[in-house]
Structure 1
């Protein structure tokens, strides 16, 4: 009897300690990058530079970084080119990327907050690596893969020679916690038949709600956002954005709404995040059971039904243009 009681106490202690444990956070790839970067000064040719990145950085990739390499098709040549395009940026962002280790306790607290707020939360593994200024973050299974060179910039980083999208999307203060929050939500979302059906039948709506849900839940639980600049524009132009979006939301081409940083000229890129957020917010606000609503937003796989239940479209019904 005593042995059973002791085992029970140990189980309780183990459970309580595990909730407060620091999640797996890999930062070694950042150190490897700067080691390879420093060796580039002795390179005698572009081919030599490519070999240095290939061997000393990509060749030493951690488990998480290997996933980022594959998902974003990262090559040594892309690194050499990007470094040569924006030499002052890399110099100015270096110390910020190396400071990621200082965020580990805050990230652990963030994961604990998610665990307390979301049912059946599974703590992801996190890899901070250096990319080629193409992504702030993505997920692969239960991994958060963070492009540290993009999320760690601040007002002192030099943006000379960059296009408008990079100038806009690079934060003026480090967005480390905002990105870990957003990408963490993606690891918790349901990857069921509904997502597949939505992707092939109404891709725009599906992806927009998926991204908007990550923004909304992250914001609701942690108070952080990766898209604060974007939302400033969105609130000012919401009706015209919706009028345009509703005509395209059941189509497959999402290039005007998501991941379009290089092609959006007259307005901010990625406005689908804003519309998705507002749909999720509308659903949440009209729900009596807020805890349940948060879970539905997180796990929804029926995107047409979710939009209808949110009531978001109805708020514009009386103001639609006569040309419709």
Structure 2
């Protein structure tokens, strides 16, 4: 098990279990934990060696799930993972797992960049609250998500590239992974981590598409301010080039609760580009920031926006000017 303390002045501690910080310390580190990755591969080998489905499940439960960190428990809850979810993915795509295995060890290389980013984040937003960052192995449902104060990074996806064997997957998944790996997720793992750290700072449940798009757009915008770059994903380039059509279509859907055409989706939508809701949310956030006379206050407002307050979200969007007629 490896742990790194990122020495950033964050005031109160994360909690005794993850932090282990001295009561006398003047700073509280953000800690990155990657021990679950090695445990997964130990369990994986035991599953591949087991003779029966029952023995496979018992081995995986004992060696991975039962010994996992709070980050693994949170990841499983957030993405609906069970032992059977993992075992089904392992049995269905052995070539994927065997080819991605050596790449998962590369995830920790993002640490050096991440430390500098978090120091800058603290400078831009002094109120930054601690958040544990966990490297996990999931079952191909998420490269990154959050639960509470935990950033959860799925390295079986986030470290992939064109060398990973996706040939056993159905055509739709092959298209998704080919496109995703073309975006160089390992090179952008530090950027993804910062995006997810932003989510740990945000509050309030999102009740409609507009709120969810702003929620993601704020995370993209703040991560850009912290790291100096945006992810190499299709919506980043496609959005500005097709802004008028995207804006018109988004206005029609933004009050609804159906995200499927805009967020966390595939390319089966009117534009043939996934996740354009991120672009809209980013454009709203950028508009708000550009119009604000006090940039530090604008950054604080966007991070602390309460998504459970529709009036506050509407005021933020209106102040951006982006959706104005």
Normalised to the residue count of structure 1, the TM-score between the two structures is 0.83
Aligned-partner Cα distance in 1 for 2:246–2:201: 28
Distance 2:265 2:54 in 1: 31
CA contact (8 A) 2:136 2:155 kept: yes
Match runs of 1:149-298 below 5 Å: 149-160=156-167, 161=169, 162-170=173-181, 171-174=183-186, 175-189=188-202, 191=203, 195-196=204-205, 199-200=206-207, 203-226=208-231, 228-261=233-266, 264=269, 267-298=272-303
Q: CA deviation at 1:273?
A: 0.6
Q: State the alpha-carbon separation in 1 of the partners of residues 270 and 320 from structure 2.
A: 31
Asked if the contact 2:267/2:273 (under 8 Å) is kept, the reply is no
Change (3 A) 1:100 1:214: same
Q: 1:85 to 1:56 in 2, by over 3 A?
A: same
**2:125 paired with 1:114:** no
| Bigger mean CA deviation after superposition, 210-219 or 235-244 | 235-244
Partner of 2:39: 32
User: Residue 48 of structure 2: which of 22, 41, 46 is its match?
Assistant: 41
Closer/same/farther in 2, CA of residues 84 and 264 from structure 1, 3 Å limit = farther
Q: Compute the displacement of 1:112 (Å).
A: 1.2
Tell me by how many angstroms 1:263 deviates.
5.6
Given that 2:184 and 2:232 are in contact with CA atoms closer than 8 Å, whether structure 1 keeps it comes out as no
Q: Return 5+ residue gaps in structure 1 as ranges.
A: 1-12, 318-324
Segments of 4+ in structure 1 off by > 4 A?
Answer: 262-266
Indicate the residue corresponding to 1:4 in structure 2. none
- 2:289 is paired with a residue whose SS is helix
Cα drift, residue 262 of structure 1? 8.2
* Shift of residue 124, structure 1, vs aligned partner: 1.0
Partner of 1:304: 314
- Contact 1:258–1:271 (CA<8 Å) still a contact in 2? yes
Q: Runs of 5+ in structure 2 lacking a partner?
A: 1-23, 307-311
Matched position secondary structure for 1:254: coil
Q: Closer, same or farther in 2 for the Cα pair 1:226/1:47, shift >3 Å?
A: farther
Residue 152 of structure 2: SS of its match in structure 1? strand
Cα distance in 1 for partners of 2:112, 2:143 equals 21
TM-score by length of 2: 0.83
User: By percentage of residues, which structure has more helix?
Assistant: 1
Mapping of 1:59-98 within 5 angstroms? 59-98=66-105
The CA distance in 2 between the partners of 1:262 and 1:65, in whole Å, is 30
Provide the aligned C-alpha RMSD in A. Answer: 2.1
- Contact preservation (8 Å) 1:204, 1:251: yes
Q: Greater shift after overlay, 144-153 or 104-113? A: 104-113
Q: CA deviation at 1:265?
A: 8.4
Whether 1:144 and 2:151 are equivalent positions in the alignment is yes
